[in-house]
Structure 1
Amino acid sequence: MINARIHGHDRTLLGRIFHHPTSNNLEWREVVAFVGRIGSAEEKGDDKWGFTLAGRTATFLRPRDKDMDPREVERLRHLMQDAGLSPYSTEILEASPVPADSDALIVVDHHEARIYRLDPETVGGETETTLRPYDPKGYIHHLSHKEDGNYRGQRASEDLGYYDRIAEAVARAPRVAIVGHGTGKSSAMAVLSERLHERHPGTEIRVVATATVDLSAATDGQLLALGREMLALDGR
């Protein structure tokens, strides 16, 4: 269902949000008004605002001056990508609601994260969300796996906002299991775990199990079965 159209000055502003390198002169008041027109922008107190687009919500801090911090612009760009927007979008679609009280399985590498929300009351019931790092020049897309989890001898250039978006996607899940590829610091699962510890402690404490598998050889069914097994071992 179409709930907003994007045209005129809003199209120009959308293009500036997606521009690379990231703009450092986007006015906060313009962004708040724009988000309110295509979704919702709600003040939460303590200079925090909740932006919601197509069912996806993220919290942003009001800047001290008139312009948004470039790092916050990048987070806004990621939110818009998750909502299905691009620099060329002319409309935004309403997303289907996602169960808020389901356990979650995160299957993550440097290329993408697949998040399965597992409804314990529905046999085989799961909703998958796919998140990808912002990669406008395709550097990460063209990297290939090695057995030790490295990418052509080096760790992939990190988009830490990617890991923040994964955390936000499971923020309301009672329990979380994480499956990753590779070991050591090159593992995206290790980066995610570190990010949860540093920035999302409320989510970190709900991670009940982690496992390392060869994601290139695992089917969706096998991953889901593994995730359910990992959660079943939790004593809560």
Structure 2
Amino acid sequence: MSRTGTTDDGDELLTRLGALTAQARAQAEMQRSRVELAIALQRGMLPRDLPLARRLHLAVRYTPACHGLNVGGDWYDAFTLGDGRIGLSIGDVQGHNIEAAAFMGQVRAGMRALASVTSEPGEVLARTNDLLLSLGSDLFATCTFMRLDPCAGVLESARAGHLPCVWATADGKSALTDDEGGPPLGVQAGTPYPVTRYELTTGSMFVLLTDGVVEGPSMR
């Protein structure tokens, strides 16, 4: 009786362990699928190609987080405006989930549409701010929008609660941009966004970034 009981207890323990293992594996597979869906959704809302222009070289590096569902809010965009100048934007929607990724797509698409009407950076941010408020969402976004004239070497920038950019010159000097900026988009109606003008020289560089660069783990 004791041997049989011991065998039965062992079989029951193995059965329970097998069930727990299968359950843990199913949860891991579900989490992996959710992460892959969020990353695919986020990448699908970003531009596939960057504009080409004389005297201008654009490059991007986009690396979403890989822990849990910590993806969703960050975006960048670059597109040619109607007058041949280049529109540039970078931003971050509050939150790290699929909802933030979807909201990011609305912000980016709305900003592109508004920039086709008026490309003045402060006006683009002000109108995007009004658009987000009209959606009635609890989410908000930080953003920098720039209008670049590659031929004239003039860059106009407006910032909505976003991190400053890094400006480097050909002689090795660098500094953070010091434009005044305004609050994040989707927070307060009727907010003005001041525009700062930069004169670019040959070999100068602007680096636009999100808070993931300074708050997240080091990039390898």
TM-score normalised by the chain length of structure 2: 0.23
User: Which one has the largest radius of gyration?
Assistant: 2
TM-score normalised by the chain length of structure 1: 0.22
